[in-house]
Structure 1
Amino acid sequence: MISDTNFRIYREAASVLEANGIPYVVGGGIAVMSFGRLRDTKDIDFYIMEDHQDLALHHLAEAGYEVDHMSDVGWLAKAFKEGLTIDFILENVGGLRTDQETLDRGVRRMIGKYEFMIMSPEDLIIRKIMAMRSERNDWFDCISVLSSSYQSFDWDYYIRLANRVNPERALSFLLYVRSDREHVVPVPDHVISRMMKNLPCHK
């Protein structure tokens, strides 16, 4: 598992952003951990808006972090301290960019003794659905997050995000959840029906 030293440095980076008025939400494995799934992760993912990237890296550099704008990539920047990596993610697979609504929907959650602004479960799940590859466990992360948040889950927002990226993939995940006997997570029938109607073959 991630050591306390890692979390101390991650929390320090978050404090730098907060002190300088740079809004963020944490996604990726750290966010999944905040919803109760104990897992390891190699870094922390800060989601910020593109307009704030240069300012965030500037203030982290002033705070003693090594920074890399990764200008040739366009959707990612990085910072480093004591061998740890901090990712700044501007855009995900499927072209879903960090916007004001992504940030506004963030919630403060504790991971051990450290508090972060965490990405909403709907934003987190959609991004992990899109990131899933054969060597990754993103969908199991998503099931864990949904299991912890389904009572207040915003299905309208989930459907809206799905329609922006890949409604077939987002629906496939929900059908998988409904068929998975190991994790009984209620997915409303009306959500499945609405998403089926949004598929290209039903329009």
Structure 2
Amino acid sequence: MADLLEGVRAPYMIFGAVAVGVWGRIRTTLDVDFLVQTDEEGLSRLETTAESSGIGVDRRWLDWNPMRRGVQIRLILEPFRADVVRATDAHDRAAMERRRQVSWRGRSLWVVSPEDLILQKIRAQRDYDFSAAVSVIEEQKGRLDEEYLDLWARRLYVEQELAYVMRGGTVG
């Protein structure tokens, strides 16, 4: 997938559960999430290129999620699936600027920063995402840019959620 994205010159970063495994505690997943810096036309070109490379495109998923049309595509590389999402807001763009290169199996890949991953997880508002954010905080203790986290938590209106995960996911 990274080769495909680099081939179409789409700046990307891995986020989601795979990134949690980089910065927090590893959990099993068959999903890989990519945030790409491109427009709707670029996403469409990426879909066409993926398909011509033998990668499946899950159009049925898009039928069930029509609001994601032009923003996200789901690619199938059995048994895995890759969700490719366009960067659409100010935080997405800031996160792309702060992405980090990590080495994996002898190659360099772009991954979301731990701070931006925490913010993405608390924006999702799901129990398992809060747990994932806590795992990143625990594993990155003392290395997080807390000023950046506070700034974006205010901008994204998730200050209480950030305080919650910073306390380890406990009320108090």
What secondary structure is seen at the aligned counterpart in 1 of 2:101? strand
- Residue 139 in structure 1 maps to residue 130 in structure 2: yes
* Deviation, structure 1 residue 97: 5.7
Distance 1:178 1:78 in 2: 31
CA 1:142–1:164 in 2, change beyond 3 Å: closer, same or farther?
same
Aligned partner letter, 2:118 = I
CA 1:46–1:34 in 2, change beyond 3 Å: closer, same or farther?
same
Distance 1:156 1:109 in 2: 23
Which of the pair has the greater relative contact order for Cα pairs under 8 Å at 6+ separation?
A: 2
Among 26, 44, 51, the residue aligned to 1:38? 26
Coordinate RMSD, CA, aligned: 2.8
* Deviation, structure 1 residue 81: 2.0
What secondary structure is seen at the aligned counterpart in 2 of 1:41? coil
Greater radius of gyration (CA): 1
TM-score (normalised: structure 1): 0.67
Any residues of structure 2 matched to 1:1-203 within 5 Å, and which?
13-51=1-39, 52-68=42-58, 70=62, 72-74=66-68, 75-90=71-86, 98-99=92-93, 101-111=94-104, 115-133=108-126, 136-166=127-157, 167-174=159-166, 176-177=167-168
Distance 1:169 1:98 in 2: 19
Aligned partner letter, 1:30 = V
CA 1:104–1:22 in 2, change beyond 3 Å: closer, same or farther?
same
Looking at secondary structure, tell me which structure has more strand per residue.
2
CA 1:36–1:126 in 2, change beyond 3 Å: closer, same or farther?
closer
Identity %: 24
What secondary structure is seen at the aligned counterpart in 2 of 1:89? strand
Q: Tell me the matched-pair count.
A: 162
Distance 2:13 2:111 in 1: 5
Unaligned runs of 5+ in 2: none
Unaligned runs of 5+ in 1: 1-12, 181-203
